[in-house]
A and B are shown apart, each in its own frame.
Chain A
Amino acid sequence: MQGKAPTRMKTTFSTMCTNEDYEEHEVNFMRKINFAQAINETLCQLIDKNNHVFLIGQGVTSPWYVGSTTVGLIQRFGSKRVIDTPTSENAVTGVALGAALARMHPILCFPRMDFMYYAMDQIANHIANWHYMFGGQLNTPVTLWAIINRGGEQAAQHSQAIQAIFTHIPGLKVVAPSTPYDAKGLLVTCVEEDNPVVYIDDRWLYQYEGEVPEELYSVPIGKGVVRHKGEDVTVVATSYMVHEAIKAAEQLEKEKIKTEVVDLRSLKPLDENLLLTSVKKTGRLVIADGGWKTCGITAEISARIAENDIFKSIKAPIIRVSLPDTPAPASSSLEKVYYPNAKKIMLAVKRVLEM
């Protein structure tokens, strides 16, 4: 199942589960699909190629619950490999762990991160600890597919981006792709892993298109990537915020400000090398993450810089662009100011240049 390196290739779309939009034809450029389609295709291929992989979770057969990411899977694989569940997050998460201990690899879907709190005992006490607690004898390969779904006046219990809660827990790896290419490659890697991985996606990413090879390939965990080169300021961003950071960088370019955008891709382990290399070059850092500020991803990244020798050569204080430390409000008038965006990143970049 080892993925090949992505190359420009001849490809057909026959393995797509949502193939209405695609006719089977040959192209000699890499085809573009959107983020949701990339997940859908990858799930389809992973379940198809691996007898030990199955999809489970509340809503995986729903026509709307998880966007279009699971469309067609139940029809193709049936209810033994695509298991829609009762609203029993705690038990079902334990079920996934049990299956993993019996040599399966469950991809466990949470249609919203908010619902994972019911599952936290199994995730934090059981799944995350299991390997260590028994001296490394037992593996718990579970992919915890955690979806961020916010906006639209859904309020405090249907809007959360709690990635930092998972990065805090030893034993878990956490990835957060921002492009369709990485959505596919990282999901493949999750399934290749013998460890539990929290795979975070954000429904605000679902419409973003990008080049995605048809075949399976993997993107390594713990490796970030530079999305936009620049020398003046580094913007380290995660998940959806990468796109806002790129927007900001493009805008700033018109004002002759050269911003380097680093997409972390993995939140744990962090690509510290890439982070340090970029900050060493620019001497200024803005961090953009869609979670809360206090003890959040932005706090961890700041600490990594502060702990390192390059801290001495930093030219300005670090600025964090994140959610304020408040629950999500319902009213769109407040949502507008609540969520971080390109504009806030631009302001931060300008401020960090003035300091």
Chain B
Amino acid sequence: MVQAIWARGKDSTLKMKQPLSSSISPELLLKMYVTMVKIRKFEERVADLVISKEIVTPTHLYIGEEAVATGVCSTLKKQDYVFSTHRSHGHYLAKGGDLKALMAELYCKKTGCSRGKGGSMHVASPEMGLPGSSAIVGGTIPIAVGAALAFSMQNSDAISAAFFGDGAAHEGVFYESLNFASLKKLPVIFVCENNLYCTHLSVVDTLADTNIYKKAEAFAMPGVRIDGNDISEVYETAKRAVENARQSRGPTLIEAMTYRWRGHVGPYDDLDKGLRSKEELDCWMQRCPVRKLEKHLLKQGATSQLEINQIHKTISEEIEKAVEFARESPYPDENDLLHDVHK
């Protein structure tokens, strides 16, 4: 019943309540903290802008899951590819995508990272190694495998990472991709963000065995379940997986347990829809990945409250500048409609 307990957020055997312990350098931890705060604050601002109807494109917020994208992407180089999903903002920012261009994309402006044609679910930053995100569940998993195939053909040491939700583990393409990647020992890591829900349904209503990491075993590759709200666990695990991939030792499946604080789509927590309990949400909010890291940094003396305040202030200013930039940017021109169908 571990999975059911996970779903209720009450399992004390899974180190969720333990404070962060880490051998990662304080500098790197601080850097990751900055990224996580950036994602958090960005998403909170987006939520407000959706409520005020300035942003219309359907937004799937990443609040509560920041440690996963941040931890994984911190182990990657610029040359490495990551592929994202409908819940894309965190992956984009963690991989180093330009914040202004992301905000502008949410306004569907011409200056957006997809030129206003993709919206929230289709962001890309080719220059930073994010060649796209798909709103089809599971859609990018084989694409990440394909990039890994190319890297191996090119004798490059680049690797690729596929981010996807627990919902993607319903799709056949997930299993086919695991098999092919493992069979060919491709340099790819599969990062399943198990936030316990696929739209309105809980994992226990959709998966016969909710231990997604165990699917790896069937394809002769390593699979691990980790606390996705613990940045150090995410980082250390991803680092080993990335190392394996770079050394041509094949793929790894990482199942990062986490939780989205807002509803499936949009700014609200959706508690009124009766799909999850306030108790459950509260429980996960107490396990805030950002606060957990912040506490750790303060305790270790790696930072001061003053510095943290400064970080928050700087990021807020950056976000406000991005909002201004997005507001002032032009919409795509009518003529743009017919452009970019082909090269």
Contact = CB atoms under 8 A, between A and B. Distances in A.
Interface residues of B, number: 43
B331 A331 contact: yes
Contacts of B222: none
A155 B167 contact: no
A79 to B, nearest CB: 9
Interface in B157-208: 167-168, 170-173, 198-201, 205-207
Contacts of B105: 330
A118 B134 CA distance: 14
Given A84-B205, A90-B172, A331 B117 contact: yes
Interface string A316-355: 0000000011110111111001100000000000000000
B108 A330 contact: yes
Interface in A65-116: 65, 84-91, 114-115
Contacts of B116: 329-331, 333-334
A170 interface: no
A155 B121 contact: yes
A63 B263 CA distance: 13
Given A86-B207, A324-B338, A334-B336, A65 B199 contact: yes
Nearest to B263: A64
Given A329-B117, A331-B116, A86 B198 contact: yes
Given A65-B199, A155-B135, A334 B334 contact: yes
Contacts of A239: none
Contact of B273 (A63, A89, A114, A324): A63
A63 B138 CA distance: 23
Given A59-B199, A153-B108, A330 B122 contact: yes
Nearest to B110: A331
Contact of A87 (B117, B137, B273, B337): B137
Contacts of B136: 114-115, 117-118, 157
Contacts of A154: 57-58, 119, 121
Interface in A19-63: 59, 61-63
B216 to A, nearest CB: 19
Nearest to A62: B200
Interface in B95-144: 105, 108-109, 114, 116-119, 121-122, 134-139
Contacts of A325: 341
A326 B137 CA distance: 22
A63 B201 CA distance: 11
A329 B108 CA distance: 9
Interface string B32-51: 00000000000000000000
A63 B57 CA distance: 20
Interface in A142-163: 152-158
A330 B200 contact: no
A327 B138 CA distance: 20
Nearest to A117: B136
Interface of A: 59, 61-65, 84-91, 114-115, 117-118, 152-158, 324-327, 329-334, 337-338
A326 B337 contact: yes
Contacts of A333: 108, 116, 331-334
A324 B162 CA distance: 33
Contacts of A64: 200, 273
With a 10 A CB-CB cut-off, give which of A85, A325, A326, A333 has the most chain B CB atoms. Answer: A333
A65 to B, nearest CB: 7
B135 A88 contact: no
Given A324-B338, A327-B341, A333-B331, A155 B117 contact: yes
A334 B337 contact: yes
B106 to A, nearest CB: 9
Contact of B108 (A61, A63, A332, A338): A332
Contacts of A157: 121-122, 134-136, 139
B281 interface: no
Nearest to A338: B337
Contacts of B134: 157
B172 A324 contact: no
B192 to A, nearest CB: 13
Nearest to A327: B341
Interface string B67-85: 0000000000000000000
A91 B135 CA distance: 19
Nearest to B115: A331
B205 A155 contact: no
A152 B205 contact: no
A68 to B, nearest CB: 14
Given A86-B198, A153-B119, A330-B117, A158 B58 contact: yes
A155 B137 contact: no
A123 to B, nearest CB: 15
B311 interface: no
With a 10 A CB-CB cut-off, give which of B108, B139, B205, B207 has the most chain A CB atoms. Answer: B108
Of all A-B residue pairs in the complex, the 6 with the closest CB atoms, nearest first, are A330-B119, A86-B170, A333-B331, A331-B108, A153-B57, A331-B116
A114 B139 CA distance: 12
Interface string B267-281: 000000111000000
A62 B105 CA distance: 29
B252 to A, nearest CB: 23
Contacts of A86: 167, 170, 198, 206-207
30 contacts: A65-B199, A84-B205, A85-B206, A86-B170, A86-B206, A87-B167, A87-B170, A87-B171, A115-B136, A117-B136, A118-B171, A153-B56, A154-B58, A155-B118, A155-B121, A155-B122, A156-B117, A157-B121, A157-B135, A157-B139, A324-B337, A326-B337, A327-B341, A330-B114, A331-B119, A333-B116, A333-B331, A334-B117, A334-B331, A334-B337
A86 to B, nearest CB: 4
A126 to B, nearest CB: 15
Given A63-B200, A331-B108, A88 B119 contact: no
With a 10 A CB-CB cut-off, give which of A64, A89, A91, A153 has the most chain B CB atoms. Answer: A153
